[in-house]
Each structure stands twice: as structure tokens, then as C-alpha cells.
Structure 1
Amino acid sequence: MKLAKLNEMTKGWFIGDFYPSLLRTQDVEVAVKTYRKGDYEEAHFHKVATEYTVIISGRVKMNGKEYTKNDIIIIEPCESTDFECLENDTVSVVVKIPGSPNDKYVLK
């Protein structure tokens, strides 16, 4: 048995083609992300990957729509979204398939 710490991973990403990673792969990326109220990510999309976001706790807004605990948001390739955290200590799990390094395109 091994032990790792989520707070030692980059922005909560613990599986994927980056360092550090518990499993170095381009097949998938997995993260547990914690946000503070007001945290924001610019609108972006992926050309190849599908992204699955599960809201574990808290509230977020993506593309003007609010999501809360137990919501699962599926973002298909070439669909864009922004992200705004609406409550402190919001937690999400994100799975991106395939991992596709450099597959993030910020809208200007």
C-alpha cells in the first residue's frame, strides 16, 4: 500500500500526463478540485476530450447556469464553458477522457 497527498498534486490533478501524477497516462485525467467563492476560469473548450465534472459540495456557475451537489456536467468536445465558484469550499471531481495534453483552448 502506498500513500499520496492531494495537496501535493498540481491543482488537484492526480492522474494524467503531468508531474506529479500517481499514474502517468494520456488516456485519462482525474482531479479533485477545491474552490473558494469567486474563483473563476475563463471560457475554454477541448477539441478532443470529453470532460465530466461532478459537484461534490457547494455551488458553481457554468455558462450562466448554476449547478449544485450531485450534479454531473458533461462537456463534449468543442463545447465551451466558463466556470465560477459561488460558495466557499466547493469541491468537484473532474474526469477528462482522453487526457490529451495541450487540448485546452481559451476563448478570447
Structure 2
Amino acid sequence: MCPTGALFRTEFGTVVVLGDICNGCGCGYCVASWPYGVIDQRKDDGWVFTCTMCYDRLTDGLQPACATACPTQYIQFGDLDEAVERQSRQRRPESRSPKTTSSVIGVKTPPPVRRRSS
């Protein structure tokens, strides 16, 4: 999916773009391959970027800033099975109507990122 091998899956299952490898080559293969606009590309210089899920915070044992700052705790980061269990315990019977639904989005086991061999 990346001809330069610039995508890297971290030990937390998140994917980051290695800027020193991509160097804004402008091919855009990764942008087209990843769903939901996860990877984007600047129009002016072709530089590719994505949310790092605050990799520096994760390595320090902290949650991503968006999960910490979310006043409703709608954004959560962690194990998918634990998130599903937590959500099922917190939901009240009246919240199960079609008008008020919630969902857990995640990947139980992230697929490997294919890197080009040197």
C-alpha cells in the first residue's frame, strides 16, 4: 500500500507515517488505500500525515489527548473487548431505543502493515 515503506504500526496498534521515509513523494497510494480519511495529503507539497493517537503520550502510559479531554467520555482508547464490556454495563434499558444508540468502533487485532523490503 506504500511503495516507500513509510507506514509503521506501533506497539499500540496505531499507524504513523514516517516522514523521513515518505518525504512527501506525492504518490498518495496510502491516502486512497486507508478508509475514513485516516491518512490525508497536503495539496501544496504532497506531504502525507495522519493522527498519531498521541504516540508520545502512549509511550508515557497516558491516554491520547482527545480521549482525556472528551467531556462526555465518548472518545475512549484501549482494548476493544474491554470497551465493549464497559459500554454494555453503562447502557440503561431506556437508552436501547432506536433514537439513542451508541457504537464501539475498533479493531480487535490490527492487521499488519506491509512494508516494502529493502
Q: TM-score range by the shorter chain?
A: under 0.3
Query: Which structure is higher in strand share?
Result: 1
Q: Which has the higher relative contact order, 1 or 2, with Cα contacts under 8 A spaced 6 or more apart?
A: 1
> Structure 2-normalised TM-score?
0.23
> Structure 1-normalised TM-score?
0.24
Pick the structure with greater CA Rg. 2
Query: Which structure is higher in helix share?
Result: 2
